[in-house]
Amino acid sequence: MGSKNKLKRFKENETFSNVIQPTREEITNKEFHLKGKWAKEFFKNDLPIVLELGCGKGEYSVGLAKMYPEKNFLGIDIKGARFWRGAKTAVEEEMNNVGFLRTQIELIDLIFAENEVDEIWITFPDPQIKYKRTKHRLTNTEFLQKYKKILKPDGVVNLKTDSEFMHGYTLGLLHGEGHEILHANHDVYKNEYSPEEVIGIQTFYENQYLEENKRITYIKFRVK
């Protein structure tokens, strides 16, 4: 993507009412103004809140919002030029139950209050295969504890990935730490029990993975 195109998207994001772009200082130096108030002040309702971490182009957030109009969805990514597409689609289609937040995922426990979130989706994250990158894996122990803090007691986390490494790493960690695995699947398109929200929404990159005959894996779990 050219720099001019990026700048254009950044500018357009600033005009979207469904996009929030706080500075790191706004989040870390004082209590974030929407913390504990996302449903009431951002979505202006009292519906459950679902996060998509590393939302990319925002296709999954938008897809889930269409599938579940009775829930609020918030896509989170540091790259605003990417989720511009999802935000623009939501504006054009007048979807009031989906928004986008530009920030680092490691700050989510400063952005959301305890028990404020009902569900989390992690879709096709970078598996960070090198050992020295373990701290950046979105299902490592530190991230799981952040999720537990902001999730309601019965809240769940969904991991959908094309990475066998990420799938195996996460399953091993969940077993080792005693978390509750609700569903685990090594190939969602060859399993009749795959949930509709897992196989009914496909991102641009997921379609590419499928063309390369990559298996798409899925885990649904509850952090204990």
What residues contact 213, with CB distance under 8 A and at least 6 apart? none
User: Up-side HSE of residue 33: CA atoms within 13 Å toward CB?
Assistant: 8
CB 178 within 8 A of CB 167: no
Question: How many Cβ atoms sit within 10 Å of the Cβ of residue 216?
Answer: 23
126: annotated active-site residue = yes
Q: Where are the alpha helices (DSSP H) in 106-203?
A: 108-111, 141-150, 164-177, 196-199
Phi–psi pair at 180, nearest 5 degrees: -95, 110
Contact yes or no for 167/129 (Cβ under 8 A) = no
Up-side HSE of residue 184: CA atoms within 13 Å toward CB? 15
Catalytic residue among 126, 154, 162, 187: 126
Residues known to be catalytic: 126
